[in-house]
Amino acid sequence: MHAVATYQYQTLQVSIAQAVLTVTLNRPHKKNAMSFEMMQELLAVASRIRKDKTLRAVIINGAGETFCAGIDLSDLNQPKNQAFALWELIKPCQSLFQRVCLVWREVPMPVIAVLEGHCIGAGLQLALACDMRISTLDCQLSIMEAKWGLVPDMGLTQSALGVVRADVLKELAMSARVIDATEAARLGLISHCSDAPFAYAQTLAAEFAARSPDAVLASKRIINAMHQQSAITLYQEKLWQIKLLLGRNRKLALKKAKQASTVFTSRQFR
In a domain, 243, yes or no: yes
User: Is 2 inside any structural domain?
Assistant: no
Long-range Cβ contact pairs of 186-191 (< 8 A, separation 24 or more): 188/163, 188/164, 189/124, 189/128, 189/133, 189/141, 189/163, 189/164, 190/115, 190/133, 190/134, 190/135, 190/141, 191/132, 191/133, 191/134
Residue 53 shares a structural domain with residue 166: yes
Do 75 and 193 fall within a single domain? yes
Measure Cα distances from 29 to 3, 25, 32, 37, 97 in Å: 28, 11, 7, 15, 22
Residue 238: inside a domain: yes
Q: What is the pLDDT of residue 76?
A: 86
How much of the chain exceeds pLDDT 90, in percent?
Answer: 81
Sign of CA dihedral 160, 162, 166, 167: negative
Q: Looking at 10-14, 81-85, 181-185, 221-225, which range is the least confident one? A: 81-85
User: What pLDDT was estimated at residue 2?
Assistant: 79
Regarding whether 233 and 105 lie in a shared domain, the answer is no
Instruction: Let me know whether 74 and 144 are in one domain.
Output: yes
266 part of a folded domain = no
- Identify which has the larger pLDDT, 162 or 3: 162
pTM: 0.94
Q: pLDDT tens across 230-247, in order? A: 878 888 998 899 999 889
Q: Does 230 lie in the same domain as 197? A: no
Number of domain units in the chain: 2
Query: Taking residues 161-175, what's their average pLDDT?
Result: 95
What was the pLDDT predicted at 94?
92
For residue 128, being part of any structural domain is answered with yes
Round the average pLDDT of the chain to a whole number and report it: 94
Here the CATH number for the domain that contains residue 73 is 3.90.226.10
Residue 1 pLDDT exceeds 60? no
264: in domain: no
Closest CA to 65 of 195, 188, 168: 195
User: What tens digit of pLDDT does each residue of 42-100 get?
Assistant: 999 999 999 899 999 999 999 999 999 999 989 888 888 888 888 889 888 899 999 99
Q: Kindly state whether residues 159 and 246 are assigned to the same domain.
A: no
The answer on 190 and 246 residing in a single domain is: no
Q: Which domain holds residue 182?
A: 12-208
Residue 263 within any structural domain of the chain: no
pLDDT of residue 104: 98
Strand 179-180 and strand 118-120: the pairing is: unpaired
Mean pLDDT of 95-123: 97
Are residue 190 and residue 221 in the same domain, yes or no? no
Looking at the structure, do residues 67 and 193 belong to the same domain, yes or no?
yes
Please report the pLDDT score of residue 156 as a whole number.
94
Asked whether residue 70 falls in the same domain as residue 110, the answer is: yes
Both 180 and 235 in a single domain?
A: no
Is residue 235 a part of any domain in this protein? Answer: yes
CA 231 to chain centre: 18
Q: Residues 231, 179: one domain?
A: no
